[in-house]
Structure 1
Amino acid sequence: MTAAVRHAPAQPPSATTIRRLGPNEAAASVGALADVLIDCVHGGASVSFMAPLPRDKALAFWRNVADGVARNERVLLVAEDASGAILGTVQLITAMPDNQPHRADVAKMLVHRRARRQGIAQQLMAAVDDAARAERKTVLVLDTVTGGDAERLYERAGWQRVGVVPDYALMPDGALCGTTFFCKRV
């Protein structure tokens, strides 16, 4: 007779909330968003900044983003843990030329290294789709480092690879990298 093996119940993942920040919340979150950006750049993410990223430069970037939220030019989404700490973020840039009122760009999909591999990026991408629908945007465009983990994330989320531009940008350490462009209809 074998003894029954009792397994401890699986621990549920920590609660992550995805929410849209209004202008005042965006302005109040600049410091926490700068922390996420700095962590991502120092971790090697090619997201328009070179390493080491000075805090004042990261803060200035997020102040500009908060101003864009206040002008209704972009949607700012954040992923927060149960304590309210920001773990990740993504933006939907809605201010487009007159002949592209149906389109938006997805930008700065960032997840702090300590919070990766928990499904947060997937939750943020689903939320950005919802935000696009709420803003009546039907075509979304984004770009990412060719060969990076984000390519697989976007493909799993239903994005269509459009093409690759070799040597399009620099990695934070100065090395050239290709950029893959994606689009999605929502």
Structure 2
Amino acid sequence: MRIERWHADRVRDRAGDLADLLTDAVDSGASVGFLAPLGHADAAGWWRERAEAVRAGRSAVWAAVDHTERVTGTVGLDFPAKPNSGHRAELVKLMVHRGARGQGLGRRLLTAAERAAAAAGRTLLHLDTETGSPAERLYRSAGWTVVGTIPDYAASPAGALRPTTLYYKRLGG
């Protein structure tokens, strides 16, 4: 699998493939901001909106693709627009297709985003994830620090309110 940073046109042009990944994540119970069932057209529309955020410099997207060019994972960074926030970014939508899990791809995507953020002068990253999710193990093992937990923060894909855990990581020293 190779990991590539995708520019806005590539995100827009591959929105259908990215939608396949997003619907797989939601169908497998990942709390990534959507309720099940998530239609393919809605998921592709979300990715096309994301392409515009990439074009505007508010976001960055990395995709993992296999030897057949199938999208098997993704991760993003969102950059705040406030003048006092140029040192930080939010890690968003780290997803790995069910068929590609357990092979270290999530860690590789996470590392790619962290390295790119550091290279761009970002010194602080933050994220939120569903409390008790498999993602927590990845973040903790990668050196992320727990800030705290917010009860009933977001609905799971099935609609049940679930707590979320907030994390941060300092970069570059």
Q: Percent identity?
A: 43
Higher-Rg structure is 1
* 1:86 alignment partner in structure 2: 71
Q: Alignment RMSD, CA only?
A: 0.9
8 Å contact from structure 1 (residues 168, 179) kept in 2:
yes
Q: Distance in 2 between matches of 1:164 and 1:83?
A: 40
Q: Distance in 1 between matches of 2:20 and 2:50?
A: 15
* 1:60 alignment partner in structure 2: 45
Give every structure 1 segment of 4 or more consecutive aligned residues whose post-TM-superposition deviation is greater than 4 Å: none
8 Å contact from structure 1 (residues 75, 131) kept in 2:
no
* 1:154 alignment partner in structure 2: 139
More off after superposition, 131-140 vs 101-110:
131-140
Q: What secondary structure, in the 3-state scheme, does the structure 1 residue paired with 2:53 have? A: helix
Q: Which runs of no fewer than 5 residues in structure 1 stay unpaired? A: 1-15
Amino acid at match of 2:119: A
8 Å contact from structure 1 (residues 170, 176) kept in 2:
yes
Spell out, residue by residue over 1:35-92, the C-alpha distance to the aligned partner (whole angstroms, 9 max, x if none).
Answer: 0000000111111100000112111110011111111111100111122211000001
> TM-score, normalised on structure 2?
0.96
* 1:173 alignment partner in structure 2: 158
Q: Which runs of no fewer than 5 residues in structure 2 stay unpaired? A: none
* 2:23 alignment partner in structure 1: 38
Q: Distance in 1 between matches of 2:134 and 2:26?
A: 15
> TM-score, normalised on structure 1?
0.89
Q: Distance in 1 between matches of 2:119 and 2:20?
A: 29
